[in-house]
A and B are shown apart, each in its own frame.
Chain A
Amino acid sequence: GESVGLHLPTLSVQEGDNSIINCAYSNSASDYFIWYKQESGKGPQFIIDIRSNMDKRQGQRVTVLLNKTVKHLSLQIAATQPGDSAVYFCAELRGTSYGKLTFGQGTILTVHP
């Protein structure tokens, strides 16, 4: 299930299920969107990115969907495994040169064996 408020949203799934993690972004001028995975005690790890002129991109077991109309981004993980348990952040990148990422709040994914 999910919780809101002062705590990070959480998603609990069974091993083998598909997971969908959602993110709302604020700036329509952002031209890149990126998903990161952060395991306990580690820095964020790049998963997949998508340019603003695309609406879908697939990687290995992951798919990112971008809906610019409602400023919504989602990460789908197929056949979720216990090793996928982590905090997932979406981030947006603005500008035409090197810039700084703006991170979302994060979602805690817990995969039960």
Chain B
Amino acid sequence: GAGVSQSPSNKVTEKGKDVELRCDPISGHTALYWYRQSLGQGLEFLIYFQGNSAPDKSGLPSDRFSAERTGGSVSTLTIQRTQQEDSAVYLCASSSDRVSYTFGSGTRLTVV
């Protein structure tokens, strides 16, 4: 597609459940990033993938968070045993160079 696609756009889940968030990057973009944005806040880096290199997981807040990128394309961010503090908008971005990130519209996660 022409842009970065994220699904679902909204997700409401019960505390303690696992959730999976999906990101379809722009075709040909070798780098893929996940960020988290809490209400009224800036973006917090979570993880990024670059080509076949090991992902940089330094921003993941706990071991309940994990992500994978299959075939150098689609990525899934998984949150296990969700907590209320996990409620946020999860944004995915992809890029073909160091600077020009294209963001998706995000998945709004609400943990009740």
Residues in A lying within 8 Å of B, measured CB to CB: 7-8, 32, 34, 41-46, 49, 89, 91, 93, 97-106
The answer, among A8, A44, A99, for a CB contact under 8 Å with B43, is A44
Cα(A86)–Cα(B90), bound, Å: 19
- Residues of A contacting B30 in the complex (Cβ-Cβ under 8 angstroms): 98
Q: How many A-B residue pairs have CB under 8 A?
A: 58
Question: Do the beta carbons of B40 and A93 come within 8 Å of each other?
Answer: no
Check B41 for interface membership: any CB of A closer than 8 A: yes
The contact size tier of chain B is 20 to 34
> Residue B93 at the A interface, CB < 8 A?
yes
Q: List 6 A-B contacts (CB under 8 A).
A: A34-B99, A43-B103, A44-B43, A45-B103, A98-B30, A98-B48
Tell me the bound Cα distance from A19 to B45 in angstroms. 28
Extra pairs beyond A43-B106, A44-B101, A97-B50 (14, CB < 8 Å): A7-B40, A43-B104, A45-B103, A46-B100, A46-B101, A98-B31, A98-B48, A100-B56, A100-B59, A101-B101, A102-B45, A103-B44, A104-B42, A105-B42
